[in-house]
Amino acid sequence: MATSITWTSNGSGSFDNNTALSVVYTPSAADIANGNMTFTATTNDPDGANPVCQATLATISLPINPLPTPTATSNGTVM
Range of the domain at 22: 5-63
Average pLDDT over residues 64-79: 84
Whether residue 74 lies inside any domain: the answer is no
Whether residue 34 lies inside any domain: the answer is yes
* Helix ranges (DSSP H) in the chain: 29-34
Phi and psi (nearest 5°) for 44? Answer: -90, 180
Whether residue 78 lies inside any domain: the answer is no
How many domains does the chain fold into? 1
CA–CA dist 3, 48 (Å, integer):
12
Question: Residue 68's pLDDT band (boundaries 50, 70, 90)?
Answer: confident
Q: Model confidence over 14-55: pLDDT tens digits?
A: 999 999 999 999 999 999 999 999 999 999 888 777 777 888
Whether residue 42 lies inside any domain: the answer is yes
Whether residue 12 lies inside any domain: the answer is yes
Whether residue 72 lies inside any domain: the answer is no
Whether residue 44 lies inside any domain: the answer is yes
Whether residue 71 lies inside any domain: the answer is no
Q: What is the pLDDT of residue 11?
A: 96
CA–CA dist 28, 14 (Å, integer):
8
- Identify any residues that bridge with 8 across adjacent strands, giving them in sequence order: 40
Q: What three-state secondary structure class fits 49?
A: coil
